[in-house]
Every structure is written in C-alpha cells, then in structure tokens.
Chain A
C-alpha cells in the first residue's frame, strides 16, 4: 500500500465537518487525512459508494478477565461459529463473545476502527491490555471500574476530597485506563458481603460505608470534570433492569448538575412500573431530560433478539437473572473493587419483557433530539452482539421494515410503548453521527470520527444500497490509519491498533497511602498491580481537556 491515496467520486458523510453526501476527494498521506496530494498520487475510484469515517464504538465488552470467563463458559457458542483465517488474518472463533482476533476482524468487517472496552477492574487491567494487544485492526481503550472501590469509598466516608482526587488519578495512571466507570455505584460491595443487601435507592446509604450512590456519583463527576479527562464518568446507574428504575436514572442525571456525564446503555434504565411487577416504557421522560440537558451523553444499549451474553460488573443483577432459567453462570471474585457476573442469555420476540426492552431502545433512538448525545450501542454482548448493528441501523432508517418487525413481537409489550406512532427515519448523516462522529466527540478523540485534514485515515466505504442492513454489513473498503485492510470485501492486510489512554496529573505521595491498604487486603503485591509502561506497545495518550 502506497503511503498516499486519493479517493475520488464517493459520496461523503462527514457530519463533524458539515458534509452531508457531497462528492469530493479524500486525500490520505502517511496514515492521516491531508488537504491535497500531487496529481499523480494513486487513486481509488469510489463511484456509487458512501464514505464515512471509521466507526467508533463507545461502549462494548471485548477484552479482559470477564470477557475471557464468558468465552470459557460457552464452548457451544464458539463451536457453531468458527472464524477461519485468511492469507492476511488469523483465525478464531465467533459467537456472542468472539475470540480476541475474531473480535478485531469482525469489527473491521462492519467498518469499525475504534472500540472502547467499557468495564475493567483495576486488577484485570493487565489482562485486558494483553488481550487488546491481540485484538487487531481497531484502536482501543478501556474504562476502569472505580464505583465500588473500598479504598475510594473509605476516603469519601472520611470526607477526604483532595486525597480522593489524587487516588482516582493514580488508579487511572496505574491501569492505563481511558476514564472511570461506575457500575451500580455503592451497591456491589454490600451485596458481596450480605445477601439481598444491594442498594435500591440512589440516596440509600449502605451500612458498610455510610455513603450513598449519589455521593459517589457526585464525587466522580466533580473529580473527573476537574481533571478534564477526555471522557466524563461512564455511569451504569443503580437498579439496572428493575421496573420503575427511570426515577433513579433521572436522579443520577440531576446529580451531575451541569457537569458532563455519560450514561451507559440507557435503555436498561428507562423502565416504569412498580418494582417486582411488569415494567412499562419511560423512554419519553428519559429522552426529554437528555434532550434538554446538553451536558449529558448516553449510548442506548439496544436489545436485539437472539443469543446474547450478560456480562456485567453488576453482580447482584447477574445473580437475579441466573434465577430465571437456572442455567450456568459465573460470579467472579474481584477482591476490593467491584463485582462480576456472567451468564448466557437469549432475547425472544414473544416474551413481554424482552419485546418491551427492544421497543424502548428504539423509542429512545427515535425520540432523540440530538444524535450527538444519544449514540448507538447494544452494550455488546449484553443486549446482543455488535454483529447486529447493521440490522439495528436498518430498523432506524427504514420505517416499513420497522413496522414489519414490530408486528412480529409481543403486542402487549408494544402496547406499553409509543413505538408504532414514531415515523422518524434516520438519515445517513444521522447514522454517521451516532456510530462515529458523536462517540468520537464524546471521547474527545480529535483525530477520529471525521474526515477533515489532520484526522486519522480511518475510513469506511460502503456500497450505496437500498437495503441498509446489507449495506452496513459489508463495507467494500475499510482503511485503517491509511492502510487498506479490506478491499472489495476481502482482507488485504492486517493492522495493529493502538491503545488509547489518559494520564491525569496527581500527587505521587498518594501511592504510599494506598500501599498499606493493599498489603492488608489484596492477594497480589502492590508493585505488581496495574500496567507498567513497558507493557504498552503502540499507544497514545489522549490529553486532558484543560491541559
């Protein structure tokens, strides 16, 4: 592959630069997009195609100990879906939780070039980095779980705000994470010690720390915004999946005030009804709040019918779900930091709750007032595999198809929603926003999600087809950092993506405060904890916003 390439005749969708379907040239030099190239530079005729920046997935689970446990738990899933190698790529196995190599290649075959792993315990960071090294093509990073960290909660309990800030920054540096992730903040730790002691209200103080979820969320939102991390706290609210949880979700958003916050898989947090009874849809309330508060961003976490794998740091939730089919599940030990539960799952059209979840996700997309803040995800593999994104895109872009699909699912569930009345169809530009431009902006990745000069040459070229599922299923060309990875639907190259992480400044003295806690309670040596610099190969530090 030459270092230079001029792509001509394609219809360009680059919403970050206000380009909506114009035909113009894209010039690539040394892995970056540039203004112009000499006339004799190699050309690629992309007539009849739609050109978008490479996809950016803001919330997915692709690497680390819990993902690996999910792989080990489901040999049956892999056996039925082998992923053969090619002359350029390695083999692997597929299913809802593909092997590392297959994960990278399969994301690439959908035109994705950047993916964020959304939940990694600090203890699992090293394992995650090792797996990310083996996840080809895509650039990647991960969010570190700090919402149930005993040491940090003790600091909050003692009111040591300043130390808390340094400790959070220490943990991010130590693990080479991208930002902080809160999962069921304040709930996992009491649950691990005592049955049925998960918190159910955002203001409920656990007897363990005398700290409420709201205090934890508030502390993280304030701290991370002060540090100016490229992405705000990534929050999985309390009460995921429970009827009536939309109130908790609204309260969580209010807690942030006007500071930036990202709510993960918000579909799972938009349910009305009484706890313990059948849920109904509160998508309208949630969408309205988000529409009116520009500090908030979220990804939908759409449920797609078929096989999935529940994989969460919300261990009480996994415990609850395992009670339904009494199948195999894993509850893994995460020591002093978060929980972990994994079980195979299947979403079925005829089941009321599953159909309702599916419909609520679509409602959220269709009621979104700002595609820059409500992004596409299936919380892979929780709501469904990332391989179902093309179908989801078709559901959003094609109302006739959507009507057909609505007709196939549990009608009692549909009656609880406003979905049949929503006639909106996403445009190609809006799809380009929710799958690339918006996640890149929410992650402050200045070189991703757009095709302006200076951007990384991560480019996806789709054949313009009527059937959007077909179109987004198989891009004709995928270019990663200027390298042609997929040409005419075939792999022509392999690529080693970078690890993206941040490095906020902090007072080194905090490490010596954490050390004694470590020596008392952890199973590994303090000095072996986290990810040392020499473990990183290709990587990029995304600078803080205020630096």
Chain B
C-alpha cells in the first residue's frame, strides 16, 4: 500500500517540504508522516497541519491538491516514486540522485536543479531554469532525465553537465546557456540566444531559430543517434512526426567564445 497525502488546507505562504520524499518516508505510518516537520514561511509546522495522510510508506508517495505553493518536494531523493496529482511549486526534485517523479499538472521554476540521477516527468508546463545550476555554481545537472510535455521558460539546462532534458512545447531564451555537456531537445519553438557560452553538449530544435553570431554553420546531415532518441520519445507520447526521425538537420557549432565544441541541430524538413 502506498502513502497518500491530500491537501486539506492550502498554505498562505509557501511550504518547504524537502523531507517529503518516497525514500525518507519508507516504513513510516500515517501518524509518523503527519508529524514530519516542514517550514511554513518562517514557522515550523507539521505535514498534518496541511495534509490528510493515508497509508504506509513503502517507496511510493502520492500527493494531491494544489501544491503550487509547496516547494522542494522530492529534493535529494534517491529512490522510490513520487506522484503529484496537480500543480507543484519550485525546486521540485532539487539535487535528486535517483527514483522517479511524475507530475500531472504544471511545475514552477527550478525543476530538478543540480540533480545527478533519476527521472522527472511533467505532463504540463514548467517555468524557468529547468535542470539548471543554482546561482553561482558552474555545474548544473550531472545526470538523470527531465521530460516536460508542455512549455518551458528561460535558461533551461543552465550549466548542464550530463543527462537529458526534453521539452514537448516551446522553450524560452538562453536554452542550454553555459552548457558543459548533455542533451536538450525542444520540440516546439526555441527562444533566442540558445547555447550562449556552451562548451560541449547538444541542443536540438525542431523549428528554425535565430542563432548567435558566435555559432557557425557546418553541414546538413541525418544523425543516427537522434533517430533512436526520437523513437524512444515517441513511445513516451511525445508528438514526433516521422519526417523528423528520418529528415535532415542543420548542424551549427559553438559557442566560439568558449571551446566551440557544442552543437545545435535544427530540423530542416
């Protein structure tokens, strides 16, 4: 039996619930989970003050309600599954190293910052700085996968070092800024200044986009790895046309203000 939490009182100011993860609640009964301390603004409260708790912790945690003011859910988790039936707040899965998070609704900014492993699936939209480095850090996510079926905003994959980020919708500006390695796929429209300061890594866009002057065009080609990757995404219900799988892509290399070893691939029919 899994652990189910449903919100009975919406918080007035954000809740910081970094202790609410499937792995930390293993073996806890509903009373113990209700007693977990969380931060409500500048006061410490308990989970029971905001949630009705049912079941027992066995590595699967379900939350429901409007959680858009609940931050840091699943942060630092290393195993288990976290399902959120509704919207969720910022810093979802921050620094997680394993396990799975599935969101039915939309997520706030800072999805999976500095994560090193695991998988985050968001059925709706996310905001800024998906899979990015925290301010000041040179390195963002070092592993793991983030799948967002809707749109994302600016600075997706900031400082990314490894892993995969997929946006089914559009992305904002500065996609893959200061990227060190890893892969970002944007199926919708991509904003401007993509790949600014990138050293290595791959950014893939299905629509033409304005390139920075520090990127240079190399060739048109049909990358084999992308076929495999797109087919895998197709099986996860991302909207991918067959011509995108078999078609040609423009390859641009950059950013030449850095090492010029990154690439941006743009689908061109």
Q: Which A residues are within 8 Å of any B CB, using their own CB?
A: 73-77, 79, 327
Contact = CB atoms under 8 A, between A and B. Distances in A.
Interface string B225-257: 000000000000000000000000000000000
Contacts of A73: 136
A324 to B, nearest CB: 15
A75 B138 contact: no
Contacts of A79: 134, 136
Given A75-B135, A76-B137, A79-B134, 10 more contacts: A73-B136, A74-B136, A75-B134, A75-B136, A76-B134, A76-B135, A76-B136, A77-B136, A79-B136, A327-B138
Interface string B109-152: 00000000000000000000000001111100000000000000
Contacts of A76: 134-137
Judged by DSSP, the binding face of A is helix
A327 B137 CA distance: 11
A377 to B, nearest CB: 27
Contacts of B136: 73-77, 79
Nearest to A72: B136
13 contacts: A73-B136, A74-B136, A75-B134, A75-B135, A75-B136, A76-B134, A76-B135, A76-B136, A76-B137, A77-B136, A79-B134, A79-B136, A327-B138
A73 B135 CA distance: 10
Contacts of A327: 138
Contacts of B134: 75-76, 79
A73 B136 CA distance: 7
A327 B258 CA distance: 12
Contacts, number: 13
A157 to B, nearest CB: 42
Interface-central residue, B134, B135, B136, B137, by most chain A CB under 10 Å: B136
A82 to B, nearest CB: 13
Judged by DSSP, the binding face of B is loop
The range of chain B's interface size is: under 10
B74 to A, nearest CB: 18
A75 B134 CA distance: 9
A74 B134 CA distance: 11
A74 B138 CA distance: 11
Nearest to A325: B138
A74 B137 CA distance: 8
A252 B210 CA distance: 58
Contacts of B135: 75-76
A325 to B, nearest CB: 10
Contacts of A77: 136
A327 B159 CA distance: 13
A76 B139 CA distance: 11
B155 to A, nearest CB: 15
Interface string B196-222: 000000000000000000000000000
A327 B138 CA distance: 9
A284 to B, nearest CB: 40
Nearest to B258: A326
A273 B142 CA distance: 41
Interface-central residue, A75, A76, A77, A79, by most chain B CB under 10 Å: A76
A76 B95 CA distance: 14
A327 B134 CA distance: 16
Nearest to B137: A76
A274 to B, nearest CB: 32
B72 to A, nearest CB: 13
A131 to B, nearest CB: 21
A523 B136 CA distance: 31
Nearest to A327: B138
B5 to A, nearest CB: 27
A515 B138 CA distance: 46
10 smallest A-B Cβ distances: which pairs? A76-B136, A75-B136, A76-B137, A75-B135, A74-B136, A79-B134, A76-B134, A327-B138, A77-B136, A75-B134
A62 B242 CA distance: 62
Contacts of A74: 136
A76 B138 CA distance: 9
Contacts of B138: 327
A76 B137 CA distance: 6
A381 to B, nearest CB: 16
A189 to B, nearest CB: 31
A202 B132 CA distance: 49
A79 B137 CA distance: 10
A300 B137 CA distance: 31
Contacts of A75: 134-136
A28 B220 CA distance: 83
Contacts of B137: 76
A75 B135 CA distance: 6
A101 to B, nearest CB: 17
A77 B137 CA distance: 9
A187 B135 CA distance: 35
A4 to B, nearest CB: 40
Interface in B5-57: none
B134 to A, nearest CB: 6
A415 B241 CA distance: 65
A74 B136 CA distance: 6
A294 to B, nearest CB: 46
B39 to A, nearest CB: 13
Nearest to B138: A327
A75 B136 CA distance: 5
Nearest to A74: B136
A138 to B, nearest CB: 27
Nearest to B133: A76
B139 to A, nearest CB: 10
A69 to B, nearest CB: 13
A75 B114 CA distance: 15
B258 to A, nearest CB: 9
B209 to A, nearest CB: 28
Interface in B176-209: none
A135 B135 CA distance: 26
B146 to A, nearest CB: 21
B253 to A, nearest CB: 20
A327 B136 CA distance: 11
Nearest to B135: A75
